[in-house]
Amino acid sequence: MGRALRLMGRALALRCPNCGGGPLFRHWIRPLPHCPRCHLLLDRGEPDHFLGSFTLNFVAAELLVVAGTGVGIVLTWPEVPWGRLTLALIGLMAVAPVFFYPWSKTLWLAVDLVFRPLTYKDLAGHGENLPRPPEETG
């Protein structure tokens, strides 16, 4: 449990979950290919790896909209301005996924590392990551 919390804490700080190194992003939505310190590949080579971070991002944005709805209703009760509240929540829903993007990537990488521990093929610069000549691939 301690390892998982350490990985998640590093991910929440937008650092490499494996070593705590960083930064992991060139720009807000452009991650580096690997950690600058430990060379952990941010995309661990699974064809559907992005689905985990997509799901985390979607759930975070939806929870923010639900919380915003609740706060909006409580603060304006009994005269709830439904039209303005709806427009504000639509704007929030458009911005929230972009805002949460880096955290969804690093948190999903941390979750992935908890359930599928690091191997040499997850590190950039090792022979396992280099393309092989056709005669070696059989």
* pLDDT tens digits, 22-76: 899 999 889 999 999 999 999 887 778 789 999 999 999 999 999 999 999 999 9
- What H or E segment, with its residue span, contains residue 54? helix 50-76
- What H or E segment, with its residue span, contains residue 27? strand 25-27
SS3 39: coil
Greatest pairwise CA separation for the chain in angstroms? 74
- pTM for the model: 0.82
Per-residue confidence (pLDDT) for residue 44, from 0 to 100: 82
- 90 closest CA partner among 110, 72, 117, 112: 72
pLDDT for residue 137 is more than 70: no
